[in-house]
């Protein structure tokens, strides 16, 4: 399952992502927010990360705020969450292939609609390569436990 969440500064870009998902028959759940009243991004990251952690091997997420930075910092505080702030499709592809990223972070104020669609496509279509990358990803998870 793909979960999508945003704060007030990511509302418009979330609509772009949702439209993309609908056009490509991607099953998703919109966790909010749905209005442009101020909300704290750590709260939205927490809601999404808790959903991902229910089945970390099957779920992925997309978090959207103004810059993407706050969401990525907040999401990466959770064990087994590997959130990647991506500004182009290459970053999203590598985040999946090499880092097994399970959460994509986007910034509405720094990413246009067309680029966002390409980033989401790369994130959702790439697969983790494993191998030497699996050893590195395991070290990321163990570092969070310390």
Please check whether residue 72 is in contact with residue 62, taking contact to mean a CB–CB distance below 8 angstroms: no
Nearest one of 121, 7, 113 to 69, comparing CA atoms: 7
* Phi and psi at residue 106, to the nearest 5°: -130, 150
Q: Which of 8, 34, 79, 98 is catalytic?
A: 98
Tokens 């399970």 sit on residue = 102
Told to judge if 98 belongs to the known catalytic residues of this protein, a careful annotator would answer yes
CA–CA separation, 82 and 141 (whole Å) = 9
- Which DSSP string do the residues of 106-144 spell out, in sequence order? EETTT--HHHHHHHHHHHHH-----THHHHHHHHHHHHH
Catalytic residue positions? Answer: 98
């Amino acid at each position: 399952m793909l979960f999508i969440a945003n704060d007030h500064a990511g509302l418009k870009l979330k609509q772009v992502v949702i439209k993309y998902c609908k056009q490509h028959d991607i099953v998703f759940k919109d966790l909010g927010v749905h209005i442009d009243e101020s909300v704290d991004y750590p709260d939205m990251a927490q809601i999404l990360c808790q959903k991902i952690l229910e089945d970390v091997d099957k779920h992925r997420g997309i978090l959207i705020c103004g810059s993407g930075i706050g969401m990525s910092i907040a999401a990466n505080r959770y064990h087994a969450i590997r959130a990647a702030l991506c500004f182009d499709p290459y970053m999203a592809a590598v985040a999946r292939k090499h880092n097994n990223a399970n959460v994509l972070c986007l910034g509405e104020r720094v990413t246009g609609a067309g680029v966002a669609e390409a980033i989401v496509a790369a994130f959702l279509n790439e697969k983790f390569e494993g191998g030497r990358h699996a050893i590195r990803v395991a070290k990321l998870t163990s570092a969070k436990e310390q």
